Amino acid sequence: MTTVLQLDEIRQLVDVPQLIAELEHGFVLYSDGKVNVPPVGFLNFENPPGDVHIKYGYVLDDDYYVLKMASGFYDNPALGLPASDGLILVFSQKTGELKLILLDKCWLTDMRTAAAGAVAAKHLAPQNIRAIGIVGTGVQARLQLEMLRNVVDCRRCLIWGRNAEKVQEMIGELRAREYFQDWGLDLEAAGSVDDLTRECNLIVTTTPARSPLILAGQVQKGTHITAMGSDDHGKQELDADLLGKADLVVADSISQCVDHGECHFGVKQGTLDEARIMELGQVIKQPTTGRASEEQITIADLTGVAIQDIQIAKLVDRALSGRLSGA
């Protein structure tokens, strides 16, 4: 029998610390070659502008295979509609039976994307974080910051976006939330990207930019940058020279990032040797391959891998089974 879950039900089943741990395990499985993940399917639209990502795969000798569709239509907010939508389908790996339909409206994709940012920061950020820098003002900007509380100790955050009004709206919204009040995080608007890169040594970029927002000369020694906006062909948040300047470049998936991530531009323009790129799963499994000093510049290029969708879907399934069994 197929179980269908709506968003309100799904929200109650996701535990954030467990999700972060599941993604760590998933990235290791992926880098160890224990996951079958075909190339991402893309549908791109121009009028109105939008894109659909289709990701699917399975862990070898596991119970399920998973198919996820997630869309972003960027004019939707002006129509009073959410920009994102999507669902996840969970099938039996033994029989092909459709076991679970997760009508999550892209919430699970948002959560696993933000949790991946936390994983990257946990394993690559410097120990002493002066300030967190968030580039962008959308859903992912908020979630990335929220997730970081689980893995870093910092009490100051600067936010920059192209629209200063949206930055102030975001700051006001976050200050009003009990979660951020309990954290004691001081939230400020950055006047420019220069201001943000000068003050912050943990930076997360969360935009659909198609030209670099952060240049090589702006980044200080000892900075970690997680770039998660370049999830499709043509998107770029970081200057290709910055990839060459970095002491360590880590990809969630080397093949994906070279195809359509920040690494794509570095390799294409000759500033980054593909052989230098590490995979996040490798760094998690062998911490000595990660940040070697507080002075290094490190970059995590996160394009989003189907193993994240597999892991979060399995987390929901286990939580649902536990609730139904009374455990």
Whole-number pLDDT of residue 326: 66
Q: How far apart are CA 38 and CA 57, in angstroms?
A: 7
Given the structure tokens 């996040």, which residue do they identify?
280
Whole-number pLDDT of residue 322: 85
Whole-number pLDDT of residue 327: 57
Q: How far apart are CA 157 and CA 200, in angstroms?
A: 8
Whole-number pLDDT of residue 74: 85
Q: How far apart are CA 31 and CA 27, in angstroms?
A: 6
Whole-number pLDDT of residue 193: 98
Cα 161 to chain centroid distance, Å, stands at 18
Give me 234's structure tokens.
């043509």
Given the structure tokens 């929220």, which residue do they identify?
146
- CA dihedral of residues 303, 305, 306, 310 (deg, nearest 10): -120
> Domain map of the chain by residue range?
3-108+307-325, 110-305
Whole-number pLDDT of residue 231: 87
For the chain, which residues score pLDDT lower than 50? Answer: none
Where residue 96 falls (left for φ over 0; alpha for ψ -120 to 50; beta otherwise) is left
Pick the CATH number of 3-108+307-325 from 3.30.1780.10, 3.40.228.10, 3.40.190.10, 3.40.50.12780: 3.30.1780.10
Entry pTM = 0.95
Best CA proximity match to 312, nearest among 31, 112, 62: 112
Residue 150 CB-density burial (10 A; 0-12 exposed, 13-18 middle, 19+ buried) = middle
Handedness of CA 200, 263, 123, 303 (dihedral sign): positive
In the residue annotation, 68 being an active-site residue is answered as: yes
Q: Which of 34, 55, 68, 94 is catalytic?
A: 68
The answer to whether 27 and 282 are in contact (CB under 8 A) is: no
Q: What is the 3-state secondary structure (H, E, C) of 167-229?
A: HHHHHHHHHHCHHHHHHCCEEEECCCHHHHHHHCCEEEECCCCEEEEECHHHCCCCCEEEECC
Question: What fold, for 110-305?
Answer: Rossmann fold (3.40.50)
